């Protein structure tokens, strides 16, 4: 077993072709509260990954879920941040539109959490995902992605336009969400 990532919430290990995401305990929390939170967050994440998949969003296949651990398929590809093109940005828009159509918000939509493998994009890391159909939640989700485009990718204007095209294809009412993204941007700029 090889640890491939470690964050504040979880340790990600690779075992063969299986990813094992283990939620780590927080010593500063009471043991009972910590265990309850970790158990709930683990189960919620697994449920939302499966729900996204049922909605047509490519995600890792869940193999097993225990109290603090999710075992899932390893998506052995390139992070979108390393291979992004306007065409892949448009496909990202389609996937996010499907996700939002199902009432799911990713919560950490970055080009590191989208993997390109076998000519297909996969959405990973649903640790901050939740259910919310509001314009604001969807707008914030996309705003985070657009900020990633702007801070790490040249030609980000083209990537944003391509994303909007794909997003509009799979989410009825996408124009309203895109308007909200602009509103969120302007609030950040003048805050």
| Residue written as token pair 């890792």 | 60
Mean pLDDT score across all residues of the chain: 94
Query: For the chain, which residues make up each domain, given as ranges?
Result: 2-73, 78-189
Fold of domain 2-73: Phosphorylase Kinase; domain 1 (3.30.200)
- d(Cα 5, Cα 155) in Å, to the nearest integer? 29
pLDDT tens profile 93-148: 999 999 999 999 999 999 999 999 999 999 999 999 999 999 999 999 999 999 99
User: In this structure, what token pair is assigned to residue 2?
Assistant: 């090889």
Beta-bridged to residue 121, according to DSSP, are 116
DSSP helix, strand, coil percent of the chain (3-state; round to 5): 50, 20, 30
Catalytic residue flag (residue 108): yes
Of the listed 108, 125, 132, 141, which one is catalytic? 108
Pairwise CA distance, residues 165 & 187, whole Å:
24
Supply the pLDDT for residue 189.
60
In words, the CATH class of domain 78-189 is mainly alpha
β-pair partners for 23: 10
Q: Tens of pLDDT along 37-56?
A: 999 999 999 999 999 999 99
What one-character DSSP code corresponds to residue 107? Answer: S
Please, which contacts does 120-123 make with residues 24 or more away whose CB atoms are closer than 8 Å? 120/58, 121/58, 121/80, 121/88, 121/91, 121/92, 121/95, 122/58, 122/59, 122/60, 122/75, 122/77, 123/52, 123/57, 123/58, 123/59, 123/95, 123/99
- Strand ranges of the sheet holding 114-117, from the earlier edge strand across to the other edge: 78-79, 114-117, 120-123
């Amino acid at each position: 077993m090889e640890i491939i990532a470690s964050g504040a919430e979880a340790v990600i290990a690779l075992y063969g072709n299986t990813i094992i995401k283990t939620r780590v305990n927080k010593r500063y929390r009471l043991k009972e509260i910590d265990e309850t939170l970790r158990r709930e967050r683990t189960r919620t994440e697994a449920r939302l990954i499966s729900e996204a998949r049922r909605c047509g969003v490519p995600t890792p296949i869940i193999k097993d879920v225990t109290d603090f651990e999710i075992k899932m398929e390893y998506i052995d590809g390139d992070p979108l941040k390393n291979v992004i093109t306007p065409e892949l940005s448009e496909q990202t828009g389609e996937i996010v539109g499907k996700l939002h159509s199902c009432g799911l918000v990713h919560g950490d939509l970055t080009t590191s959490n989208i993997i390109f493998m076998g000519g297909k994009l996969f959405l990973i890391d649903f640790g901050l995902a939740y259910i919310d159909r509001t314009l604001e939640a969807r707008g914030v989700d996309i705003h985070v992605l657009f900020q990633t485009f702007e801070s790490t990718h040249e030609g980000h204007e083209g990537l944003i336009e391509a994303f909007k095209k794909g997003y509009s294809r799979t989410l009825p009412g996408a124009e309203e969400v895109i308007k909200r993204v602009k509103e969120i941007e302007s609030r950040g700029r003048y805050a």
